[in-house]
Amino acid sequence: MTIRTRFAPSPTGYLHIGGVRTALFNWLLAKQAGGQFILRIDDTDTRRNLEETLQPILDGFRWLGLDWDEGPEVGGPQAPYFQSQRLAHYQTASRQLLASGHAYRDYSRPEEIAAEREAAEKEKRDFVYSRTWMAQSDEESAEFESQGRSFVVRLKMPRDGKCEFHDLVRGDVSFDWARESDHVIQRGDGTCLYHLANVVDDHDFDVTHVVRAVEHLSNTPRQIFILKSLGYSMPQYAHVPFVAEPGSKNKLSKRKIDQYLNNKDFKRLYQSGAEIAKRIGVEADPYSFNPVLVDFYRDIGFLPDAVLNYLVLLGWSLDDKTENFSRTEMLEHFSADRIVRSEASFDCQKLLSFQATYMNALPLKQKTKMCLGFLQKAGLVGEPVACEQGDVISKIVEAAGDRICMAGDILKFDTFFITDEDLEFEDKPFQKRMVKPANAGFLLAEFNKVLRVTDNFDAAVLETALHGFCETHGVGVGDIIHALRVAVTGKAAGFGMFDTLAILGRQRSCNRIQIALDELAKRVEANQ
Partner RNA sequence: GGCCCCUUCGUCUAGUGGUCUAGGACUCCGGCCUUUCACGCCGGCAACACGGGUUCGAGUCCCGUAGGGGUCACCA
Q: How far is the CB of 350 from RNA (least distance, A)?
A: 4
Interacting positions 492-521 with RNA (CB under 7 A):
492-498
Q: How far is CA 383 from CA 252, 280, 377, 386, 449, in A?
A: 40, 14, 10, 8, 37
Contacting range for RNA; rule: CB under 7 A; set: 318-326, 361-369, 373-381, 515-523: 318-326
Catalytic residue of the set 251, 254, 369, 395: 254
Interacting positions 10-29 with RNA (CB under 7 A):
10
Q: How far is the CB of 383 from RNA (least distance, A)?
A: 29
**How many residues make contact with RNA (CB under 7 A)?**
83
Binding test (CB under 7 A) with RNA, winner from 4, 89, 102, 485: 485
Interacting positions 336-375 with RNA (CB under 7 A):
338, 340-345, 347, 349-350, 352-353, 356, 360
Interacting positions 104-123 with RNA (CB under 7 A):
108-110, 113, 117
Contacting range for RNA; rule: CB under 7 A; set: 72-80, 94-102, 181-189, 509-517: 181-189
Residue closer to RNA (CB basis): 44 or 290? 44
Bridge partner residues of 346 (DSSP) = none
Q: Are 485 and 477 in contact (CB under 8 A)?
A: no
Residue closer to RNA (CB basis): 274 or 404? 404
Binding test (CB under 7 A) with RNA, winner from 148, 321, 328, 421: 321
Say whether residue 173 binds RNA (CB under 7 A).
Answer: yes
Contacting range for RNA; rule: CB under 7 A; set: 73-81, 184-192, 293-301, 504-512: 184-192
Interacting positions 191-220 with RNA (CB under 7 A):
193-195, 214-219
* Other CB atoms within 10 Å distance of the CB of residue 521: 11
Q: How far is the CB of 331 from RNA (least distance, A)?
A: 19
Q: How far is the CB of 295 from RNA (least distance, A)?
A: 20
Q: How far is the CB of 477 from RNA (least distance, A)?
A: 5
Say whether residue 436 binds RNA (CB under 7 A).
Answer: no
Contacting range for RNA; rule: CB under 7 A; set: 171-179, 370-378, 379-387, 519-527: 171-179
Strands (E), 333-463: 344-345
Residue closer to RNA (CB basis): 187 or 436? 187
Which among 503, 510, 301 has a CA at the least distance from the CA of 416? 503
Q: Are 180 and 221 in contact (CB under 8 A)?
A: yes
Say whether residue 249 binds RNA (CB under 7 A).
Answer: yes
Q: How far is the CB of 353 from RNA (least distance, A)?
A: 4
Q: Are 23 and 213 in contact (CB under 8 A)?
A: no
* Other CB atoms within 10 Å distance of the CB of residue 505: 12
Interacting positions 42-71 with RNA (CB under 7 A):
42-45
Is there a catalytic annotation at residue 254?
A: yes
Q: How far is the CB of 397 from RNA (least distance, A)?
A: 14
Which among 72, 44, 70 has a CA at the least distance from the CA of 56? 72
Phi, psi of 203 (to 5 degrees): -70, -50
- The 8 Å CB, 24+ separation contacts for 286-292 are 286/257, 286/258, 286/261, 287/254, 287/257, 288/14, 290/254, 290/257, 290/260, 291/17, 291/260, 291/266, 291/346, 291/348, 291/351, 292/16, 292/17, 292/18, 292/252, 292/253, 292/254, 292/257, 292/260, 292/346
Q: How far is the CB of 346 from RNA (least distance, A)?
A: 8
Interacting positions 227-246 with RNA (CB under 7 A):
241-242, 244
Bridge partner residues of 106 (DSSP) = 134, 152
Say whether residue 279 binds RNA (CB under 7 A).
Answer: no
Residue closer to RNA (CB basis): 189 or 455? 189
Q: Which amino acid would we find at residue 227?
A: L
Which among 372, 508, 488 has a CA at the least distance from the CA of 433? 488
Binding test (CB under 7 A) with RNA, winner from 55, 181, 272, 394: 181
Residue closer to RNA (CB basis): 284 or 466? 466
Phi, psi of 158 (to 5 degrees): -65, 150
- Distance between CA atoms of residues 40 and 82, nearest Å: 6
- Distance between CA atoms of residues 434 and 430, nearest Å: 5
Binding string to RNA for residues 296 to 315, with x set by CB under 7 A, is what? -----------------xxx
How does 173-201 read in b/e, with b if 16+ C-beta sit within 10 Å? bebebeebbbbbbbeeeeebbbbbbbbbb
Q: How far is CA 16 from CA 19, 149, 211, 293, in A?
A: 5, 42, 17, 5
Residue closer to RNA (CB basis): 310 or 374? 310
Q: How far is CA 219 from CA 12, 210, 321, in A?
A: 22, 13, 36
Residues belonging to the active site: 254
